[in-house]
């Protein structure tokens, strides 16, 4: 069985990916790392690791004979605008450390996610193609484009099998997201279930691609399992499940919780970021090359969130 190391294991995606990987390869074969401790359950192996600490990173990879790395540690879009230098360091130097440690240690596969943030205002925002103009104007997106190119560079020039998808906003109920522009979707569920009104920081008609966590995990694992000979791309596959606006989500929640009240008051920073991201991505390359297909649409996601989130509400 291969040993897998996950960075950012305490975060929104990392914490759920760790559970999924543990089920696949066994608890003792997954090394969770983060600067923030993970609630330790069922023998989970946790190591405190700052992705900027290359020496410690390399020591861990050698000590555990790591064969795959899933690199989830990142500063998200809204948080990155507040501290661009930190975002550059974590998102760029962290990614470079992952790729280069993978190279020197002979790690067989690396997953590094990109994001819809890798696009910008001059990108065609409807049916955004796999290959198109990428000139993002927020620091998170700038690091994501550079990370995509760095991943390709390590594939082509260094022989590291690095793979990745461009994640849309991810909706989930186990671990709160932190510092993203798409976080409003989760905040809305939390307020509705707490019977509190919610004021959304994006305008009601702001369209963004979104995905439910089970699909986000499947996308990652399916791409990592794909036969490399079927891959024309390696990094930065567009993947999406449905398009959401704050108004559409509020209405979908109100079908189940009619008393839910949602107001709208745009925050200029997050609104500008959201306006520069695609309304809807074309994910045909992922569908053709490795069989990507989402299972959750807006309605099934809303139903499942409203069933699952109440048990975890105290964490939000």
Active site members: 140
In angstroms, give the least distance from the CB of 22 to ligand AKB: 24
> Residue 9 or 210: which CB sits closer to ligand AKB?
210
In angstroms, give the least distance from the CB of 181 to ligand AKB: 4
Burial of 71 (0-12, 13-18, 19+ CB in 10 A): buried
Q: Which residue is nearest to ligand AKB (CB)?
A: 180
C-alpha 239/C-alpha 115 separation (Å) is 9
In angstroms, give the least distance from the CB of 258 to ligand AKB: 29
> Residue 181 or 235: which CB sits closer to ligand AKB?
181
Comparing CA positions, the residue from 35, 50, 44 lying closest to residue 16 is 44
In angstroms, give the least distance from the CB of 186 to ligand AKB: 10
Give the list of residues 6+ apart from residue 61 with CB closer than 8 angstroms, or none.
5, 69, 101, 102, 105, 107
> Residue 22 or 77: which CB sits closer to ligand AKB?
77
CB 44 within 8 A of CB 99: no
In angstroms, give the least distance from the CB of 180 to ligand AKB: 3
- Please report, as ranges, the residues that interact with ligand AKB according to CB under 6 A: 76-77, 115-117, 140, 167, 169, 180-182
C-alpha 130/C-alpha 281 separation (Å) is 8
In angstroms, give the least distance from the CB of 77 to ligand AKB: 3
CA distances from 249 to 124, 184, 212, 289 (A): 24, 10, 13, 31
> Residue 97 or 136: which CB sits closer to ligand AKB?
136
In angstroms, give the least distance from the CB of 308 to ligand AKB: 19
> Residue 16 or 67: which CB sits closer to ligand AKB?
16
Comparing CA positions, the residue from 179, 183, 148 lying closest to residue 168 is 183
DSSP secondary structure string for all residues of 149-160 = HHHHHHHHHH--
What is the radius of gyration, based on Cα positions, of the chain? 19
C-alpha 259/C-alpha 271 separation (Å) is 26
CB 99 within 8 A of CB 152: no
> Residue 67 or 94: which CB sits closer to ligand AKB?
94
> Residue 100 or 179: which CB sits closer to ligand AKB?
179
C-alpha 190/C-alpha 284 separation (Å) is 33
C-alpha 257/C-alpha 310 separation (Å) is 13
C-alpha 196/C-alpha 305 separation (Å) is 17
């Amino acid at each position: 069985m291969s040993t897998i190391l996950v960075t950012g294991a305490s975060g929104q995606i990392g914490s759920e990916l760790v559970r999924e990987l543990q089920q696949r390869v066994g608890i003792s074969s997954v090394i969770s790392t983060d600067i923030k401790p993970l609630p330790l359950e069922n023998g989970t192996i946790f190591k405190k690791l700052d992705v900027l600490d290359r020496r410690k990173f390399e020591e861990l990879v050698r000590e555990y004979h790591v064969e795959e790395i899933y690199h989830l540690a990142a500063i998200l879009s809204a948080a990155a605008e507040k501290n661009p230098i930190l975002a550059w360091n974590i998102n760029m130097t962290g990614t470079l450390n992952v790729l280069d440690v993978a190279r020197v240690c002979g790690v067989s596969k690396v997953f590094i996610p990109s994001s819809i943030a890798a696009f910008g205002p001059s990108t065609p925002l409807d049916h955004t193609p796999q290959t198109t103009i990428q000139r993002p104007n927020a620091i998170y997106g700038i690091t994501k484009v550079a990370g995509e190119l760095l991943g390709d560079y390590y594939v082509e020039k260094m022989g590291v099998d690095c793979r990745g998808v461009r994640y849309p906003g991810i909706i989930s109920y186990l671990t709160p997201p932190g510092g993203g522009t798409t976080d409003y979707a989760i905040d809305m569920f939390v307020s509705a279930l707490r019977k509190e009104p919610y004021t959304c920081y994006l305008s009601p008609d702001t369209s963004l691609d979104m995905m439910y966590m089970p699909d986000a995990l499947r996308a990652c694992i399916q791409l990592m399992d794909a036969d490399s000979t079927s891959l024309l791309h390696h990094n930065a596959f567009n993947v999406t499940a449905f398009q959401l606006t704050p108004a559409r989500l509020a209405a979908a929640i109100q079908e189940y919780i009619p008393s839910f009240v949602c107001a709208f008051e745009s925050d200029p920073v997050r609104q500008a970021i959201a306006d520069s991201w695609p309304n809807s991505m074309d994910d045909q390359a992922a569908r053709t090359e490795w069989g990507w297909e989402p299972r959750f649409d807006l309605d099934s996601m809303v139903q499942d969130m409203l069933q699952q989130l109440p048990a975890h509400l105290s964490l939000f």
